[in-house]
């Protein structure tokens, strides 16, 4: 692994991470223990996710690039959709359960996004480093922010689930991210004629939504604020 390749694989992850840190953590410090855990978890969860994709591609007909459109769709749904999203969510959730101090909504959201960004970086390194400068730069503009946006979806679900210990928001976030990931990959693989415009629109929508979500995420839980204000 050469340094330029590493930089090309992770430049946009670092930019998104820096942007997230800059806008928050005024009232409480950034949860460094959670960030370190999430980076490790995000790197580790790449292995089962890519193994799942490799299993589908090598051992079954449900292969993302299959000429049969139904097989391709199912391959994308089960592999990149269900497999990768579950691995990322599981990694982030386990990291959150391991930290002693609750990092608050912004910390939880940051943790889930860090898992997504680390996943994208390691995936770039393992699966796409042969694409060269142009290909990796293109992935830095498209695939990495999309993994970050899916981290925001996970983070939103986690923030809804955490204060009241409910599982339902986690399922909702998982389904939303699976649908988004499947739609993204299906458009890029099965509809090359429309992919540039459609993916640009999807990316812009996801990026705009992520910015709004991050800006509206408080640093402290609303429930805690309400409990603190009671007489």
CB of 164 to other proteins, least distance (A): 9
Nearer to other proteins, 21 or 141 (CB): 141
CA atoms of 128 and 136, how far apart (whole Å): 7
Within 5-34, the residues that bind other proteins by CB under 8 A are: 5
Q: Which of 22, 32, 165, 227 is the binder for other proteins (CB under 8 A)?
A: 165
* Complex with other proteins: residue 125 or 186, whichever CB lies closer: 125
In 3-state terms, what secondary structure has residue 39?
Answer: helix
In the structure encoding, which two tokens stand for residue 205, read together?
A: 């929508």
Containing H/E element for 208? helix 195-215
Q: Is 63 in the site for other proteins (CB under 8 A)?
A: yes
Q: Which residues contact 221 (CB under 8 A, 6 or more apart)?
A: 102, 104, 105, 162, 163
Whole-angstrom CA distances from 166 to 14, 153, 171, 218, 224 are: 32, 16, 10, 19, 17
- Is the separation of the CB atoms in 125 and 91 below 8 Å? no
Query: Binding to other proteins by residue 44, rule CB under 8 A?
Result: no
Closest distance between other proteins and the C-beta of residue 135, in Å?
6
Select 24 or 105, whichever has its Cβ closest to other proteins.
Answer: 105
Residues 138 and 30 sit within 8 Å (Cβ to Cβ) = no
By CB under 8 A, how many residues form the interface with other proteins? Answer: 54
Q: Is 25 left (phi over 0), alpha (psi -120 to 50) or beta?
A: left
Residues 114-143, mask of contacts with other proteins (x by CB under 8 A):
-----------xxxxxxxxxxx--------
Binding of residue 179 to other proteins (CB under 8 A): no
Residues 75-104 close enough to bind other proteins by CB under 8 A = 78, 82-83, 86, 89-90, 93-94, 96-98, 100
Q: CA 152 from chain center: how many Å? A: 7
**The two structure tokens encoding residue 133:** 């400068």
Smallest separation, CB 136 to other proteins (Å)? 8
Residue found under tokens 């390749």: 5
Pick 211 or 224: Cβ nearer other proteins: 224
**10 Å Cβ neighbour count for 58?**
8
Residues 189-228 touching other proteins, rule: CB under 8 A, are none
For other proteins, the binding residues (CB under 8 A) are 1-2, 5, 47, 50-67, 71, 74, 78, 82-83, 86, 89-90, 93-94, 96-98, 100, 125-135, 161, 165-167, 170-171, 174
């Amino acid at each position: 692994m050469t340094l330029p390749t590493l930089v090309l694989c992770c430049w946009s992850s670092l930019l998104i991470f820096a942007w997230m840190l800059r806008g928050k953590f005024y009232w409480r410090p950034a949860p460094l223990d959670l960030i370190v855990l999430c980076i490790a978890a995000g790197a580790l969860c790449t292995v089962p996710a890519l193994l799942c994709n490799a299993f589908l591609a090598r051992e079954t007909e449900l292969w993302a690039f299959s000429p049969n459109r139904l097989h391709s769709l199912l391959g994308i749904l089960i592999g990149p959709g269900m497999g990768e999203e579950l691995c990322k969510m599981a990694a982030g959730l386990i990291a959150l359960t391991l930290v002693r101090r609750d990092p608050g909504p912004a910390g939880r959201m940051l943790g889930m996004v860090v898992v997504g960004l680390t996943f994208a970086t390691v995936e770039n390194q393992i699966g796409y480093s042969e694409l060269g400068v142009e290909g990796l730069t293109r992935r830095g503009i498209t695939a990495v922010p999309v993994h970050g946006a899916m981290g925001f979806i996970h983070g939103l679900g986690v923030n809804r689930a955490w204060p009241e210990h409910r599982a339902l928001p986690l399922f909702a976030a998982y389904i939303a991210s699976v649908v988004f990931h499947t739609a993204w990959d299906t458009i890029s693989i099965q509809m090359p004629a429309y992919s540039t415009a459609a993916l640009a629109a999807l990316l812009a929508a996801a990026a705009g939504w992520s910015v709004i979500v991050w800006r509206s995420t408080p640093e402290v839980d609303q429930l805690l604020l309400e409990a603190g204000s009671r007489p």
